[in-house]
Amino acid sequence: MTRLLVLLVLITLPARAASAPGAGVVARLTHADAGRGLARPELVRRMAHRSRARLRRRLLSTTDAHPDPTAARARVRSGLGGGGGGSIVTNEYLVHLSVGTPPRPVALTLDTGSDLVWTQCAPCRDCFDQALPLLDPAASSTHSALPCDAPRCRALPFASCGGGGGNRSCVYAYHYGDKSLTVGQLATDRFTFGPPDDGGDNAPESRRSLTFGCGHFNKGVFQANETGIAGFGRGQLSLPSQLNVTSFSYCFTSMFESTSSFVTLGGAPAAALHSHAHVVGEFRSTPLLRNPSQPSLYFLSLKAISVGSTRVPVPEHRLRSAAPTTIIDSGASITTLPEDVYEAVKAAFVAQVGMPPLAGAGGAGAVEGSALDLCFALPVTAALLRRWGRRPAVAVPALTLHLEGADWELPRASYVKCATVTVER
């Protein structure tokens, strides 16, 4: 039986990696809900909805890769309640680039779980609505369709020859686990990378000729704030692979902030990094592993979980196996665990908080309509302090992930939020 444990890196974590000098580019990142003026409870609800959608896509992808009906059947929990629904964007962070000559803007979902870089192109026969104008390959002097005998065309799982005579171009069909797909023409064009919003000379524009999918038929779970997807996986067609860099780093801003951040691929100038990032505290690293059954994904070795000073009693085989089963996924914000592991972590957390969970329709600790699974009612004195603008002292136990070579104590704000305060009279 194959199980996939999805570790969806929390949005407040700035991830960083070393890289070879002299080969880097920088691009601007924005959160999907940045600048929408939404209240905090609504932002949390939307985050939870996106994480559910991402989890469904990931589990379906795993099932597709393993026809065995027992594969990826292990039930998982992520601390998500029953709230959510409605029209909610399903991407998490967008990479802002320009394509073509002259350059035209695109906004691509950053996806460490796939390889292809693609955007919608004119003429669009059946496409989702997008806020930015469609990319028109005919308007770019540097656009070139890739021939179907090109090695990068053969690198795609589903590709064929289109056109007639001597102009036989590479036509691709790229599927995602949730049945979303893009169909179009594989091409090369000039990509323009630039610094974050403040600009300046620290991170000048970089232009690279890259292979990408010019999508003419795109269906599925896509939203108007994106134009396509930037695959950051390990495959030959991913953005890091095409840039020939061995590492990339990103700073993810909180969903409660409207500011943008950046992603760096390879050895960007040191001044650019230092002007946009500030790393504090002890620096530790854990190796990124490979799993032959999912060669494009980035796996970690998660050995155990602690709540406070107590190591959660989880059977070792639930987190560890012959092949790594924990992945980093940029497309969601909620950490997802096998159900029995989640319940053990939840029980240890409840025991140490020292307050009774709220009872609701979703089960012990869940509140009807809430996006999250576990909620507590603060004592009246703490609620009054909060109402008066003072932060109440609540004992929140530390939550630590024990990785290979590193113990990662998560910031409290990454797993505990004050949703609302109600004072009964």
Q: Which residues are catalytic?
A: 111, 329
d(CA 120, CA 106) in angstroms, rounded, equals 9
**What is the sign, positive or negative, of the torsion defined by CA atoms of 16, 20, 21, 23?**
negative
Q: Are 29 and 197 in contact (CB under 8 A)?
A: no
| Distance (Å, whole) CA 219 – CA 148 | 24
Find residue 110's DSSP bridge partners: 230
> Is residue 266 within 8 Å of 247, Cβ to Cβ?
yes
Burial 160-174 (b: 16+ CB within 10 A, else e): eebeeeeeebbbbeb
Nearest to 114 by CA among 67, 71, 156: 156
Q: Is 264 helix (H, G, I), strand (E, B) or coil?
A: strand
Prior bond to 315 cis, omega within 30? no
User: Closest Cα to residue 54, out of 372, 330, 332?
Assistant: 332
Bridge pairing between strands 104-111 and 228-231: parallel
Q: Considering only CA atoms, which of 116, 108, 106, 78 is closest in space to residue 91?
A: 108
- Residue 47 backbone dihedrals phi, psi, to 5 degrees: -60, -45
Which residues are within 8 A (CB) of 276 and not within 5 positions of it... i.e. 6 or more apart?
Answer: 196, 203, 251, 261, 262
Do the Cβ atoms of 264 and 25 come closer than 8 Å?
yes
Q: Which residues contact 3 (CB under 8 A, 6 or more apart)?
A: 72, 74, 321, 325, 338
Q: What is the largest CA-CA distance in the chain?
A: 81
| Three-class SS state of 299 | strand
DSSP for residue 54: H
Per the CB < 8 A criterion, the answer to whether 345 and 400 are in contact is no
